[in-house]
Amino acid sequence: MTASRPPGRPPLLPGLMHLGAGFLALACLAHVLWAGPVERPVALAFGALVALGELTRRTSAETREAAPLAAAGALAYALLGHVAGTPTHHGVAQTVTVVLAASLLGSVPHVARGRGPVPDQLARRVLTVAFAAVCFQPLSSRGVFLDGGGPAQALLLIALLVLTTLCDALLAAAAAHARTGWPFGPLLREELRGMVGITSAVCATGAVMALAVAVAGLWALPVFSVPLLLTQLSYRRYAAVRATYRQTIASLARATEIAGYTPAGHARRVAELSRAVGRDLGLSGAELTVLEYAALMHDIGQLSLVDPVPAGATACLPVTEQRRIALLGGAVVRQTGVDAAVAVVVERQADPCREQPVAARIVRAVNAYEEKSRDAGPGGGLTALEELRLATADDYAPEVVEALARVLSRGSLSVPAAG
């Protein structure tokens, strides 16, 4: 189950962002066609770099920067004022046109495989590159950096990169907020935290490329592209390890289903809905990961029971029995080597609500909702939600129940069929 806008109400802001980027791109293309491109070898070199970055981009939906080399090359071209000491005059319009054309060209193989460029990422690249070029190119064309480099240009590049990444973070957070309805503040904080990782590497490489080409010429491009390509390769391996780790946890969670203790798909549904509720409550990053893993493994303590609970419905058991199963589950999680924070959430999901961490409150409420709605037949989602609302605050946290209601209202009040 995913959180999304109701049908017929498309998010406005992403549409405006796409429209603005498209209008800007068309205006820049018209200007280049009218005036003609300048410094074609430089444009071709940077265009080839951006296209190569798109060809090697990652296709994961959770990737913050899918094409770091393309992004770095685009920023370097926007912040380029000299080539081997000779001033450049490509301007804002040609910068946007070259970056967009190269991005689309590099995306052709991905489109052929049904994995085309994400419109949000493409629109953000056009807008952020245009922003950087608008800030830098007029100063360069007026001869502010006659020496082709120096401390003043380096400091300006750093300042512009900071402003550009802030602009990109605002666009990304606003688009995600409009599309999903999740709180804007946590989304923006998550984007800003991402600047410390791959985004900072992209910005640093873009600035260094611009400065190096200004002094050494176009031969500096392949030299300074290699470190980012190696970083991207290392990140791919890290992402593969993380994916394998998550698959291992999901497989452990399915042990209760295979043994017949819980219905098929129960852990997955609770994990998906818990993550959406956590997003709505402002959790992000590592907090969401802990929440998702705990939700996947919340029923693993049932493997220690001699007699299975009917349909695995622990929400209807006495509190003492719920707590015993939770403690057994926490002990099992600790033996698997998973983060200790996950074990804590599993152990405390049956504690008094006011004493639970937020993640445990979420898992408790979502698990109860899934169990109650599954057993209530047609209209079970509404009935289950009403039961949670009528329960005392010691049973289910009111703020979690209301967040659950908001998530469900953005999607569907029915729980997917088991299987």
**pLDDT tens, position by position, 92-143:** 999 999 999 998 888 888 777 776 556 777 888 888 899 988 988 887 777 6
- 199 shares a domain with 308: no
- Report the DSSP pairing between strands 86-87 and 82-83: antiparallel
Taking only the tens place, the pLDDT of each residue in 318-342 is 778 788 888 888 888 888 777 888 8
User: Does the residue 5 lie in any domain?
Assistant: no
Of residues 98, 221, 119, the one with CA closest to residue 171: 119
- 286 shares a domain with 234: no
User: Does the residue 248 lie in any domain?
Assistant: no
- Mark residue 312 as left, alpha or beta (left: phi above 0; alpha: psi -120 to 50; beta: remaining): left
> How far apart are alpha carbons 115 and 105 in whole angstroms?
14
Instruction: Give the domain range for residue 387.
Output: 254-410
> How far apart are alpha carbons 72 and 229 in whole angstroms?
11
- Given 210, 241, 272, the domain boundary residue is 241
pLDDT mean over 239-264: 78
- 389 shares a domain with 270: yes
User: Does the residue 3 lie in any domain?
Assistant: no
- 348 shares a domain with 260: yes
CATH of the domain at 280: 1.10.3210.10
Of residues 215, 207, 219, 204, the one with CA closest to residue 45: 219
Taking only the tens place, the pLDDT of each residue in 144-182 is 655 545 566 667 777 888 888 888 888 888 777 777 667
User: Does the residue 334 lie in any domain?
Assistant: yes
CB-CB contact of 49 with 225 (8 Å): yes
pTM: 0.71
- 185 shares a domain with 78: yes
- 112 shares a domain with 63: yes
- From the number of C-beta atoms within 10 Å of its C-beta (0-12, 13-18, 19+), residue 214 rates as buried
DSSP code for 260: T
pLDDT score, position 54: 85
- Given 211, 241, 271, the domain boundary residue is 241
Burial 374-384 (b: 16+ CB within 10 A, else e): beeeeebbeeb
- 164 shares a domain with 60: yes
User: Does the residue 2 lie in any domain?
Assistant: no
- Given 241, 269, 293, the domain boundary residue is 241
Q: In total, how many domains does the chain have?
A: 2
- 304 shares a domain with 216: no
More confident residue, 22 or 284: 22
Quick check: 42 pLDDT over 80?
yes
> How far apart are alpha carbons 84 and 92 in whole angstroms?
20
In DSSP notation, 32-50 reads HHHH---SHHHHHHHHHHH
- 234 shares a domain with 95: yes
Question: pLDDT-based confidence at 7, cuts 50/70/90?
Answer: very low
> How far apart are alpha carbons 334 and 343 in whole angstroms?
6
More confident residue, 63 or 273: 273
- 154 shares a domain with 283: no
Question: pLDDT-based confidence at 77, cuts 50/70/90?
Answer: very high
CB-CB contact of 153 with 136 (8 Å): no
- 234 shares a domain with 191: yes
What is the residue whose two structure tokens read 């983060």?
Answer: 339
pLDDT mean over 291-301: 87
- 260 shares a domain with 215: no
pLDDT mean over 348-377: 83
- From the number of C-beta atoms within 10 Å of its C-beta (0-12, 13-18, 19+), residue 393 rates as exposed
DSSP code for 199: I
